[in-house]
C-alpha cells in the first residue's frame, strides 16, 4: 500500500526528532521508505503560545494494515519520548497517517485521510 505520513516536532531538537522517527519507520517490517520531503516550518494550531513546528512528509510502501501501521507509529512516538499533553499542545514528535492508499477509515482512534 502506498502511504503518506506527516511528521512534526516543536520541542527540543526538532529536526533530530523527525530524523529519528523516519529512521524508526524505515525499520518497520514490510515497509519501505520511498520519498521524503524537505523540512518546512509552520505555526502551531490552536494554542499559539509555543514554538513553531518543523514538519516533513514521507511516502512509504507497506504491507501493514492501517490499524497495525497506526499502532507501530504510536509505539515510535513513545520510543522517542512523546508526552501526551493534549490536543494542539507542543510535541516532541507527531506522526500522522495522511493517506493510506485510497482508503477512508474513521473510528475512535483512526481518521484517514487525516483531517488536519
The per-residue pLDDT for range 69-101, each reduced to its tens digit, is 999 999 999 999 877 766 656 789 999 999 999
CB 32 within 8 A of CB 60: yes
Distance CA 1, CA 40 (A): 26
CB 85 within 8 A of CB 58: no
Taken in order of first residue, the domains within the chain and their CATH numbers are 2-112 (3.30.70.560)
CB 66 within 8 A of CB 105: yes
CB 78 within 8 A of CB 38: no
pLDDT score for 84:
74
User: Residue 71 — φ and ψ, nearest 5°?
Assistant: -65, -40
Lowest mean pLDDT among 20-24, 39-43, 47-51, 56-60: 47-51
Distance CA 45, CA 33 (A): 28
pTM score, two decimals? 0.90
Q: Percent of the chain scored above 90 by pLDDT?
A: 72
What cell does 104 get?
A: 477512508
116 pLDDT more than 80: no
Distance CA 65, CA 90 (A): 29
Strands 31-36 and 53-62, bridge-based pairing = antiparallel
Amino acid at each position: 500500500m502506498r502511504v503518506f505520513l506527516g511528521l512534526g516536532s516543536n520541542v527540543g531538537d526538532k529536526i533530530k526528532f523527525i530524523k529519528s522517527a523516519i529512521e524508526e519507520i524505515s525499520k518497520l517490517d514490510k515497509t519501505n521508505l520511498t520519498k521524503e520531503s524537505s523540512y518546512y516550518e509552520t505555526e502551531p494550531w490552536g494554542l499559539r503560545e509555543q514554538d513553531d513546528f518543523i514538519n516533513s512528509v514521507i511516502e512509504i510502501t507497506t504491507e501493514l494494515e492501517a490499524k497495525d501501521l497506526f499502532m507501530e507509529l504510536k509505539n515510535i512516538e513513545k520510543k522517542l519520548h512523546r508526552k501526551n499533553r493534549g490536543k494542539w499542545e507542543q510535541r516532541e514528535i507527531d506522526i500522522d497517517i495522511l493517506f493510506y492508499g485510497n482508503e477512508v477509515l474513521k473510528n475512535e482512534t483512526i481518521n484517514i485521510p487525516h483531517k488536519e
